[in-house]
């Protein structure tokens, strides 16, 4: 056995998956073999959610049934609604998301049933209720009345409606849908691996998703889209961008939204999200963040040869849509529940307890000395 340590499990293959892959031959993230950007162009988010969970794109009847199931499960229990109203208004929405899933686990009558059929039913409940819970907190912390979901609205339309009381134009909804598709799944990332590790002990799906949310919260993972927006707010205006980014690089500061362990020549999701960022900026008649984006990106590539990842265009896109910055990563959650769930079900189907080894570098064997002799 080799004693070589691979920090962060870099380059270690720990299992197999059929859910997604970054295919180098087409330089693209793929879901079940389909390029993510092609899915963005030809599908809505519900179709991609079905694909990730079921393995194939749905026909019209399958999609209708899937949408009806999701819409039927949207309503929150009165317990969760009252709890959300009592949550501290200063709480991070990611902590609300994590807690909401835990409460759902307490309420779900099938929590202990880890069969594939029961897990698929639980997935639909979590998938449908999570946007409703987050939107409820979005309203409650502002002292506004919580808006109930509407069954005649799509997944994305309903989220806008519950947060803002209205549905924006189709171009904005499409841009949001695209962001959900691009965030839906990404193989053995930190949060997915967390979910699979929890699942490997034969814990339940609510516990696995709760752990995944906790993992996603970190700024080195899902929280990066929030950090991108904080950076842009510090830069303030395009005229400051060149000086700001060069100073940050001179100081060896970490610049969020750039680089990715999987992609060496640029995140394949970025061109699609960048296109929709531009469309939203044009619709909102606000090009400030686009200009900052382009300047910072140019300097990062020229000086460091580091390309942006999908969080870089997504952060300012969500900002222009009107979402609070600390809600960017929770939006990631409502999408990634699909990917996590597919991996959890896959882990159950061919499970082996995930239990890596560590190289010990502490003290060698020592004798215990009685307290009065120390």
Instruction: Please give the pLDDT value at position 231.
Output: 95
For 64, 127, 152, 210, 310, the CA distances from 46, given in Å and listed in that order, are 10, 11, 14, 22, 20
The burial class, CB within 10 Å (0-12 / 13-18 / 19+), for 37 is buried
Strands (E), 133-270: none
Instruction: Please give the pLDDT value at position 170.
Output: 97
How do residues 263-287 score in pLDDT, each as one tens digit? 767 899 999 999 999 999 999 999 9
Least confident of 1-15, 45-59, 156-170: 1-15
3-state secondary structure of 343: helix
Within 13 Å, how many C-alpha atoms sit on residue 244's CB side?
A: 17
Most distant CA pair in the chain, distance = 78
| pTM of the predicted model over 0.85 | yes
Rounded Cα gap, residues 63 and 297, in angstroms:
39
Least confident of 21-30, 102-111, 283-292, 364-373: 21-30
Arithmetic mean of pLDDT, 66-85 = 97
Instruction: Please give the pLDDT value at position 89.
Output: 96
The burial class, CB within 10 Å (0-12 / 13-18 / 19+), for 183 is buried
Output 11 or 46, whichever has higher pLDDT. Answer: 46
Residue 369 has pLDDT above 90, yes or no: yes
Instruction: Please give the pLDDT value at position 59.
Output: 98
Instruction: Please give the pLDDT value at position 264.
Output: 67
What sign does the CA torsion over 51, 54, 57, 61 have? negative
How do residues 300-354 score in pLDDT, each as one tens digit? 999 999 999 999 999 999 999 999 999 999 999 999 999 999 999 999 999 999 9
Instruction: Please give the pLDDT value at position 1.
Output: 47
Using 50, 70 and 90 to split pLDDT, how confident is the model at 2? low
We find that the CATH architecture of domain 32-221+331-349 is Orthogonal Bundle (1.10)
Instruction: Please give the pLDDT value at position 26.
Output: 87
Rounded Cα gap, residues 214 and 95, in angstroms:
8
**Residue of 95, 99, 110, 150 lying closest to 128 (CA atoms):** 150
Using 50, 70 and 90 to split pLDDT, how confident is the model at 218? confident
**CB-CB contact of 122 with 53 (8 Å):** no
Rounded Cα gap, residues 176 and 134, in angstroms:
16
Rounded Cα gap, residues 137 and 274, in angstroms:
29
Q: What is the number of other CB atoms lying within 10 angstroms of the CB of residue 269?
A: 28
For 229, 309, 311, 347, the CA distances from 188, given in Å and listed in that order, are 26, 17, 18, 12
How do residues 130-143 score in pLDDT, each as one tens digit? 999 999 999 999 99
**Residue of 84, 82, 85, 53 lying closest to 70 (CA atoms):** 53
Instruction: Please give the pLDDT value at position 266.
Output: 82
Using 50, 70 and 90 to split pLDDT, how confident is the model at 120? very high
Arithmetic mean of pLDDT, 61-87 = 97
Task: Give domain limits for the chain.
Answer: 32-221+331-349, 224-321
How do residues 162-214 score in pLDDT, each as one tens digit? 999 999 999 999 999 999 999 999 999 999 999 999 999 999 999 999 999 99
Using 50, 70 and 90 to split pLDDT, how confident is the model at 7? confident
3-state secondary structure of 179: helix
Residue 260 has pLDDT above 60, yes or no: yes
Same fold, 32-221+331-349 and 224-321: no
Residue 222 has pLDDT above 90, yes or no: no
Catalytic positions, please? 221, 260, 311
Mean pLDDT, the chain, as a whole number? Answer: 95
**Phi, psi dihedral angles at 135 (to 5 degrees):** -65, -35
Q: In CATH terms, is domain 224-321 a member of 3.40.50.10140? A: no
């Amino acid at each position: 056995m080799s004693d070589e340590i691979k920090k962060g499990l870099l380059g270690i293959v720990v299992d197999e998956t059929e859910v997604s892959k970054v295919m180098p031959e087409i330089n693209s993230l793929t879901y079940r073999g389909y390029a993510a950007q092609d899915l963005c162009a030809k599908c809505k988010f519900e179709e991609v959610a079905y694909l990730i969970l079921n393995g194939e794109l749905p026909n019209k009847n399958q999609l209708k049934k899937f949408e009806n199931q999701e819409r039927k499960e949207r309503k929150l229990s009165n317990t969760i609604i009252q709890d959300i109203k009592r949550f501290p208004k200063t709480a991070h929405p990611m902590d609300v998301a994590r807690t909401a899933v835990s409460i759902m686990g307490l309420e779900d009558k099938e929590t202990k049933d880890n069969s594939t059929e029961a897990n698929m039913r639980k997935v639909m409940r979590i998938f449908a209720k999570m946007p409703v819970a987050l939107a409820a907190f979005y309203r409650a912390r502002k002292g506004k009345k919580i808006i109930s979901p509407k069954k005649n609205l799509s997944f994305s339309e309903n989220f806008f409606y519950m947060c803002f009381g209205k549905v924006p134009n189709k171009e904005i909804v499409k841009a949001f849908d695209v962001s959900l598709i691009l965030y839906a799944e990404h193989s053995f990332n930190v949060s997915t691996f967390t979910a699979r590790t929890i699942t490997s002990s034969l814990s339940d799906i609510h516990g696995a998703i709760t752990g995944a949310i906790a993992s996603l919260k970190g700024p080195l993972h899902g929280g990066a889209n929030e950090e991108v927006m904080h950076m842009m707010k510090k830069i303030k205006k395009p005229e400051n961008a060149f000086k700001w980014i060069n100073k940050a690089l001179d100081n060896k500061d970490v610049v969020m939204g750039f680089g990715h362990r999987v992609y060496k020549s640029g995140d394949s999701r970025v061109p699609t999200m960048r296109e929709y960022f531009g469309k939203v900026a044009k619709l909102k008649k606000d090009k400030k963040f686009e200009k900052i984006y382009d300047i910072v990106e140019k300097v990062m590539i020229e000086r460091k040869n580091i390309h942006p990842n999908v969080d870089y265009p997504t952060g300012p896109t969500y900002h222009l849509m009107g979402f609070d910055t600390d809600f960017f990563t929770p939006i990631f959650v409502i999408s990634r529940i699909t990917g996590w769930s597919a991996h959890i079900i896959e882990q159950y189907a061919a499970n082996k307890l995930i239990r890596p080894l560590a190289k010990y570098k502490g003290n060698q064997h020592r004798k215990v000395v009685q307290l009065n002799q120390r």
